[in-house]
Amino acid sequence: MKKNNLRAGFVYLTMLFSLLLIFSVFCICCTSDEQDDLPKTKLLLGDGFGIGKTTLLVQDLDSARNYFTDVLGFSMPTPDKYDKGLFDSTLSASVHFEDFTSFDLLSTKDSTENLPIETANLFKNKRLGLYSFSTSSVDTTIKWLHAQEFKTDSIKTGRADNEVAKGWDWDDGGPQWRSLDFEKQEYLPSFIEYAGLPYEAIQAEWKPAAWRKYYESNPNGVVSIMALQVVVADLKASITEFEKMGLTLLESKDNFARFSIAHDQELYITTPASSDDALSKILKTNGQGVYSIRFGIKNLKETEDYLKKNLSPKAMAMDTVQKKLTVSKEFAYGIELEFIEESKENAAIAKIFDYKEGSKLDSTSLTYASDVYTKYCALCHGKDREGYAADNAPSLKSYSLMATTLKPKSSYNYLAHTIEYGREGTAMAPYAKSQGGPLDGEDIDLLLFWLHELSGVEKPIELSTEPIKGDINLGKTLFAKNCATCHGTKGEGTSAPALANPMLLATASDAFLHYTISEGREGTPMRAFKDSLSKKEINALTAYLRSRASGWNAPSPISVADPLPENYVLNPDNKAPKFDLREGKYVSAKQLLKALQDSTRMIILDARSKAAWQQTHIPGAISVPYYAEPDKFIKNLPNDNTMIVAYCACPHAASSRVINTLKRYGYKHTAVLDEGILVWTQRGYPVEYGK
């Protein structure tokens, strides 16, 4: 699966659906010395993103939703797409922003007398707004708060979906969210953890402005929540509470204090300056809590122009010094709305990555991509992408290469995986941040988009996903005669790219190899062999290269057919492996390799496409594409203590989807290969290929 799919999943997950669980760290059970070394916000939020939900309580959800959509310009869902609220018998309409914050309207259609006590009290108290912080582990949060002598309620769980998903799905049928409240909430936040959200992975590539194109735009220009303002009765006591909680105090005045939450988000707490000022009236009417939300917007003038169309002049106030537009609470259901332009840096990032498939890059995107190429690629691939400037790096302007790797159907992530994971044993290092490199997923996507655009390719050359059959022994002879001079007698590469690289064979399809041999790479020493070799001979060469998937020095090719149900369980008479699972879910490649070497009893599932399984798979793995229906297949899996391990290339998305589905069907002994098949291949661990 492409990283874009995963990031698109992030948007999906902000609406309470589950992907994969990567992270839950910094257990409070560590020593006091270890705790002292950790930022307090880390213990409080883990890898959470700071502000989570900001919720406005309303009496009539439909009318409030219409007002916030039609008048104030928020893209709120239609009534048929309302979510179940975090409280029993409630519904919410939510708008999600690129920084993983959301603004929610919460209501109930039941009378107060018919509501659960907690929900009834919530609406009886006439509070304006609630707010929550995002945490990657509610368990860690509650341990930290208890260690700081806070009193909390027990952890709550819930689902936004009324029905459990069917088929392969990330939803394992369990809770979609977990939340934690203080025993006396008043002005303090809640904490929310979403099941399966890859907090650590998102934080590692934190670039919200680059993800903007995946979110529905708001006519008012809002892209984020920058700050919340909370009114309190006792400022000094509140400051003490928030500092003890773990927030960093940035500024404190007579009736005002400012805290840092996460990234650039801030929390302001204020107290009335007099007994009859606006804040004092809010305290008397609604009690302590959120009374103002500060939104980040694209352009102040455009936001002002939009709101002027729908609001009277007395509804808004412009602060020309702070460059802030405020909509008074009387025109926003009792809560004050502030609008401030995002930073110039965020605006610049958003402009760079604001491109779509089928469009042309503008000058900003072109310049950025060109700079990335010059900095990281030109040394070996040449200033003009011509290739062979150093270390036999191939041409990146070749039409045949670009046409056979053009998204969306033909690439199978070949070039993306090459950049992300590199080519072990060659000068091509991994460049993805997840592999210790300097580039995040958006950088790599844009670089590839730029390379394809400069190549002039407009339509992809569609390649088959079917394996190519051929005479491997004939292919070996042909390789020695036609290829070894440049590619090396053992595929190590002398004056041309190394073909013995397991990563190349794991990501290049049979059709891709066949096309390259047949058509060559124009403008490079790689000539077309279609005129000198027959189709049978090119098939033989392709089959021979594929046979090297398990290593160039493999004693004999390992090609296997689809396992039959009776062969799904590896080593059925032996003991199951005892894995030390990270977060109770992820098994390391090293542990899985040892389990294979020790002939333990387990089942291995390849969650990628069938074509990917045919190219390269872990020995004994069964092809179980994450998009295929599982009902019939699952009947052939024993539901006992046999360990079931799934893997993909993402490295977690597809495999987590398969494992979560198995959990929904009641399978308890499951694991996801932590590093994925590409790192497995990169390390030279054993692989097979399919017939």
Q: Is the pLDDT of residue 111 over 70?
A: no
Q: Is the pLDDT of residue 536 over 60?
A: yes
pLDDT value, residue 559: 67
pLDDT value, residue 670: 97
Within this chain, domains 355-455 and 561-690 share the same CATH topology: no
CATH code, 472-550: 1.10.760.10
Furthest CA-CA distance within the chain: 94
Domain ranges of the chain: 3-347, 355-455, 472-550, 561-690
Write out the CATH class of domain 3-347.
alpha beta
The mean pLDDT value for 423-438 works out to 89
Task: List 270's β-bridge partners, or say none.
Answer: 231, 256
Q: How confident is the model at residue 408 (pLDDT cuts 50, 70, 90)?
A: low
Q: How confident is the model at residue 34 (pLDDT cuts 50, 70, 90)?
A: very low
* Nearest-angstrom CA–CA distance, 640 and 569: 11
Q: What is the pLDDT of residues 309-322, one digit of tens each?
A: 999 999 999 999 99
Q: Where are the beta strands (DSSP E) in 203-347?
A: 222-231, 248-253, 256-260, 266-270, 289-297, 316-319, 324-327, 336-341
Cβ atoms of 18 and 170 closer than 8 Å: yes
Q: 355-455, what's its fold?
A: Cytochrome Bc1 Complex; Chain D, domain 2 (1.10.760)
* Nearest-angstrom CA–CA distance, 570 and 253: 68
Q: Is the pLDDT of residue 33 over 70?
A: no
Cβ atoms of 407 and 357 closer than 8 Å: yes
278's tokens: 């606006």
**Tokens 């304006």 — which residue?**
128
Sheet holding 622-623, edge to edge: 586-587, 670-673, 643-647, 602-606, 622-623
Q: Cβ contacts of residue 600 below 8 Å, gap of 6+?
A: 570, 571, 574, 575, 576, 577, 643
Q: How confident is the model at residue 37 (pLDDT cuts 50, 70, 90)?
A: low
% helix, strand, coil for the chain, step of 5:
35, 15, 45
Q: Is 687 exposed, middle or buried (0-12, 13-18, 19+ CB in 10 A)?
A: buried
* Nearest-angstrom CA–CA distance, 390 and 483: 20
Domain formed by 561-690, architecture: 3-Layer(aba) Sandwich (3.40)
Q: Is the pLDDT of residue 410 over 80?
A: no
* Nearest-angstrom CA–CA distance, 636 and 662: 12
310's tokens: 């729908």
Q: What is the pLDDT of residues 315-341, one digit of tens each?
A: 999 999 999 999 999 999 999 999 999
Residue 369, classed as helix, strand or coil, is helix
The mean pLDDT value for 85-96 works out to 88
Q: Is the pLDDT of residue 12 over 50?
A: no
Q: Which of these ranges, 18-22, 145-149, 220-224, 434-438, has the smallest mean pLDDT?
A: 18-22
Q: Is the pLDDT of residue 3 over 60?
A: no
**Of 434 and 536, the one with more pLDDT:** 536
pLDDT value, residue 112: 62
What's the mean pLDDT when you consider all of the chain? Answer: 88
Q: Is the pLDDT of residue 284 over 70?
A: yes
* Nearest-angstrom CA–CA distance, 591 and 579: 7
Cβ atoms of 638 and 569 closer than 8 Å: yes
pLDDT value, residue 9: 42
Q: Is the pLDDT of residue 551 over 90?
A: no
pLDDT value, residue 451: 95
| DSSP codes, 650-682 | SSSHHHHHHHHHHHHTT--SEEEESSHHHHHHH
Backbone φ and ψ for 629, nearest 5 degrees, come out as -75, 135
Q: Where are the beta strands (DSSP E) in 555-656?
A: 559-560, 586-587, 602-606, 622-623, 643-647
Q: How confident is the model at residue 413 (pLDDT cuts 50, 70, 90)?
A: confident
Q: What is the pLDDT of residues 119-132, one digit of tens each?
A: 777 777 667 788 99
pLDDT value, residue 114: 67
Q: Is 360 exposed, middle or buried (0-12, 13-18, 19+ CB in 10 A)?
A: exposed
**Of 257 and 614, the one with more pLDDT:** 257
**Tokens 């007099």 — which residue?**
274
